[in-house]
Amino acid sequence: MLNRNVVRAALAALLLLVGLVPLANAGQSGELRTRNVVLIVSDGLRWQEIFTGADPSLLDEAHGGIWDKPQDLKREFWRDDVNERRKALFPFLWTTIAAHGQIFGNQTKGSIARVTNGFAFSYPGYNEMLTGHPDPRINSNEFGPNPNISVFEWLNGLPQLHGQVAVYASWATFKDIFNVSRSHLPLHVGWDPPYPAKSGPREQLLNELYATTTRLDDEDVYDSFMQIPLLDGIRKQKPRVLFVGYGETDNWGHAGRYDLLLHSAHSFDHFVGQLWNTMQSLPQYRGSTTFILTADHGRGSGLSEWKEHGVEQKGSENVWLAVMGPDTEPLGERSHVAEIHQAQIAATVAALLGKDYRNAVPAAAPPVADVVGRSR
């Protein structure tokens, strides 16, 4: 028993060391240009909306629970042509990312992206994408501090990246998911005041809104409130590895408000474009930043199950993945490709930075090879 433990410990130490060595030939052309990676999640945003836009059967009060006038919602988000329709909902995704990156998960075109954790709700999904493997113990959003190390915590432990990893997310539970007391990652989450008490009038105003705005969910701040300190953090701290978690697409689904779900999905697209353009305007990020976009789970389908997700709602395991950056071939919307899994995201984040996460965490799934390295 003792011998086996010693061997195991030595092996683990060796694997950690190997993980510190950059991948010799990660990209098809060898050298990667990515110096910064941003992983962005829109909680519970379905692949159906991503690829086919607004669902016509939910643009009413009876099934979509909408308060808007249906004709107003249709003017904004309905187009007869499916490509125009999805572009009306996600203009940045379907113009910029589709032109310069890759998008997986359109099941109508033979591309499947799915979670493998068997639960299809948030904590198990974030654990799977961030650590690279599902963990059957994590079967509740109230699980508590994550025993697993995320790829962000691992990258933050590397000398070249230490202190250059940051997390901005609307959901307070990320304190547990990233195990903040162990990882010591800088987290800006939930309704915690985003700025120190002694700051300028602009910052004090946002602190006041955080304190006084009526909360739909005590654990989840509005996406627009989080976007401001996020953009400030980009300009001031300039993190090289960044996690951004938007939560409203899930909350408005649970609330049964399809109109607000569409508006928050549209805002998510705007926030991603704003983040991309802000980063491209800064020398540290220009031409050297890769974005990875995804969802932590899907949802059910039909006239009522779109509101919820989990094992009860069929199809909740289906998600989507979009990647854009200097090392990702501009193949656009992918069709008839091999199935990809949420667990592959962790190693993909590391691989884009030239690091082999699986040497440190052998249980992690391999990177999505198609998005790492260009054959130019």
Helices 82-89 and 70-77, axial angle in degrees (round to 10): 100
220 binds Zn ion (CB under 5 A): no
Applying CB under 5 A, the span of 31-39, 41-49, 138-146, 189-197 interacting with Zn ion comes to 41-49
Which CB atom, from 68 or from 250, has the smaller least distance to Zn ion? 250
CB of 310 to Zn ion, least distance (A): 8
Applying CB under 5 A, the span of 58-66, 242-250, 267-275, 353-361 interacting with Zn ion comes to 242-250
CB of 245 to Zn ion, least distance (A): 13
Which CB atom, from 44 or from 354, has the smaller least distance to Zn ion? 44
Please give the residue whose beta carbon sits closest to Zn ion in the complex. Answer: 250
Which CB atom, from 295 or from 368, has the smaller least distance to Zn ion? 295
Which single residue is written with the structure tokens 């978690």? 245
217 binds Zn ion (CB under 5 A): no
Which single residue is written with the structure tokens 């005041």? 193
CB of 297 to Zn ion, least distance (A): 7
Applying CB under 5 A, the span of 39-47, 101-109, 112-120, 123-131 interacting with Zn ion comes to 39-47
Applying CB under 5 A, the span of 42-50, 96-104, 156-164, 182-190 interacting with Zn ion comes to 42-50
Applying CB under 5 A, the span of 3-11, 44-52, 126-134, 339-347 interacting with Zn ion comes to 44-52
CB of 252 to Zn ion, least distance (A): 10
CB of 308 to Zn ion, least distance (A): 8
- Do residues 15 and 221 make contact, with C-beta atoms less than 8 angstroms apart? no
CB of 141 to Zn ion, least distance (A): 8
Which CB atom, from 78 or from 143, has the smaller least distance to Zn ion? 143
How far is it, in rounded angstroms, from Cα 183 to Cα 8? 23
CB of 122 to Zn ion, least distance (A): 6
CB of 250 to Zn ion, least distance (A): 4
- Do residues 364 and 346 make contact, with C-beta atoms less than 8 angstroms apart? yes
Applying CB under 5 A, the span of 38-46, 112-120, 286-294, 362-370 interacting with Zn ion comes to 38-46
250 binds Zn ion (CB under 5 A): yes
Which CB atom, from 27 or from 125, has the smaller least distance to Zn ion? 125
Residues 311-350, mask of contacts with Zn ion (x by CB under 5 A): ----------------------------------------
What is the total count of residues that contact Zn ion (CB under 5 A)? 2
Q: How many CB atoms lie within 10 A of CB 2?
A: 6
CB of 179 to Zn ion, least distance (A): 21
Q: Taken in order 95, 33, 114, 42, is the CA torsion positive or negative?
A: negative
CB of 42 to Zn ion, least distance (A): 12
The 3 state secondary structure assigned to the chain is CHHHHHHHHHHHHHHHHHHHCCCCCCECCECCCCCEEEEEEECCCCHHHHHHCCCHHHCCHHHHCCCCCHHHHHHHHCCCCHHHHHHHHCHHHHHHHHHHEEEECCHHHCCCEECCCCCCCHHHHHHHHHHCCCCCCCCCCCCCCCCCCCHHHHHHCCCCCCCCEEEEECECCHHHHCCHHHHCCCEEECCCCCCCCCCCHHHHHHHHHHHHCCCCECCECCHHHHHHHHHHHHHHCCCCEEEEEECHHHHHHHCCCHHHHHHHHHHHHHHHHHHHHHHHCCCCCCCCEEEEEECCCCCCCHHHHCCCCCCCCCCCCEECEEEECCCCCCCEECCCCCCEECCHHHHHHHHHCCCCHHHHCCCCCCCCHHHCCCCC
Which CB atom, from 250 or from 327, has the smaller least distance to Zn ion? 250
Applying CB under 5 A, the span of 61-69, 104-112, 225-233, 248-256 interacting with Zn ion comes to 248-256
Q: Residues in the site for Zn ion, rule: CB under 5 A? A: 44, 250
